[in-house]
Amino acid sequence: MANLSRMSRDAKLLLGASGILATSFVGIQALLKPIYVLRLGYGPSYLGTFTSAGAFTFMVMGLISGNIGKRIGTRLCLILGGAGTTLGMVILPLAEFVPAQTRAILPIVSEIVLATGWSLLNVNLVPALAAVTPRQLRDSAYGLNNALMGVGTLIGNLFGGMLPGFFADRFHQILETPVPYRWALWTASGLAVAGLFPLTLIENEDTRAVTKAQQVGGSFPLRPVVFLAIYVCLRHAGWATGQIFCRPYMDTDLALSTFSIGLITGVGQALAVLASLLMPRLAARYSNGWILVTSPLFLALGLLPVGLSPRWTTAAVAQGFTLTMTAVWLPAFQSFQMKLVDDQWRSLAYGAAALGMGLGFGSVSLLGGRLVEAKGYPTVFLLGALLSLISGAIMWGLIRTRWVEETSNSSE
């Protein structure tokens, strides 16, 4: 992290907030949320519907969040997004306290609120970081951001894996009940509140609303943005099979303990941190476009074994590849796309990518749960491998035919 000292104060605040929120949301909450839903008595089909509610909300909010950021400024969007994300996290564990006949509704409501906030936060974080970072440091900034998110997620995975056991002992409960997970999720919510504080200290004017006088530059690059959104949709659909279903699969079919699942996820996340730190060097040597082509192919290689030979070792490999390939892919994509558009279109362009992410993730969430009940988890992982291969081939075709220009060399 040598380049961290060269970052501006506002960039460091953004990176710090990102790391804290990753610990709470991407780490603890994402690890325990699907298990908590299963402990409420629901099955894979409901879990798919529950997850897709958030994903489709994220999809719908993609362009909306980008447009809001363009109008009111990314700083305010980050604060509102962080608050919405925290509120959604608080709502989920309240499901135990509502009447049984309406209990199924509250988790979905929590996902909608959470995804709305996460969209405002996530879509505007990338252009906000670009606004407070010199062009020559942006590859490093995106790599550092994902590395810090990876460290936060790693801590959250390990800490989150231990929390249910701690609260089970504290309240004399067994781990097959939802109570220990409820308190663990509320712990994550409290940590998310701390992540909001750095966002309120950002001062750079470029993160505020853009006036009409400042809106200069070329027209919106519709064609490359649309092509990239299609690629992102398919790539995210393949990745979602591992991200959504690996942990429930290890919990139900493989009967691993929450601690073991957290440990496996934590090891994968540690590798992801190392991978994200290597990303700027890979981009400098090969290019971000090369990473966008090859990382889905490696993801497919990670998902194939668990689809063909279901056991805890192959599930651990799939989880590791899911985390590691995203750690490399995401900063490469962010840098690649930010160089395709003028400054005033950053939020809208990343909003379009978020739309593709939500559509791919939501489709797999909704249909994958039903496919699990009909054919089992391995079938879903094989589907993920196929979708990943297709997305890599599409990106290769886009760059080769120059439908999306390769402008991503970090030396630029």
Delimit the domains of the chain by residue range. Answer: 9-204+220-400
pTM for the full model? 0.71
Supply the pLDDT for residue 411: 35
C-alpha R_g of the chain: 20
> How sure is the predictor about 214, in pLDDT bands with cuts at 50, 70 and 90?
very low
Least confident of 36-45, 119-128, 136-145, 400-409: 400-409
Q: Residue 412's pLDDT is what?
A: 37
Q: Is the separation of the CB atoms in 195 and 69 below 8 Å? A: no
Query: 163 falls in which pLDDT band (50, 70, 90)?
Result: very high
> Following CA atoms 198, 199, 203, 208 in sequence, which dihedral angle do they give, to the nearest 10 degrees?
170
* For residue 215, pLDDT beyond 60: no
Answer yes or no: are the C-beta atoms of 367 and 44 closer than 8 Å. Answer: no
| SS3 (DSSP) at 359 | helix
pLDDT over threshold 50, residue 410: no
pLDDT at 217: 52
Q: CA–CA distance from 140 to each of 280, 283, 303, 349 (Å)?
A: 6, 10, 29, 21
- pLDDT of 189 > 80? The answer is yes
Q: How confident is the model at residue 380 (pLDDT cuts 50, 70, 90)?
A: very high
Q: How far is CA 179 from the centre of its chain?
A: 26
What's the pLDDT tens digit per position in 62-74?
Answer: 778 878 887 888 8
Mean pLDDT in residue range 278-307: 88
Distance between CA 203 and CA 270 in Å, rounded?
33
Q: What is the mean pLDDT of residues 41-54?
A: 85
Q: What is the DSSP letter of 25?
A: I
pLDDT (tens digit per residue) in 323-378: 899 888 988 887 887 777 776 777 777 778 888 888 888 888 888 888 988 999 99
- 50: nearest Cα among 60, 38, 61, 62: 38
Domain 9-204+220-400 has CATH 3.30.465.10: no
Mean pLDDT, the chain, as a whole number? 84
Q: What are phi and psi of 203, to 5 degrees?
A: -120, -20
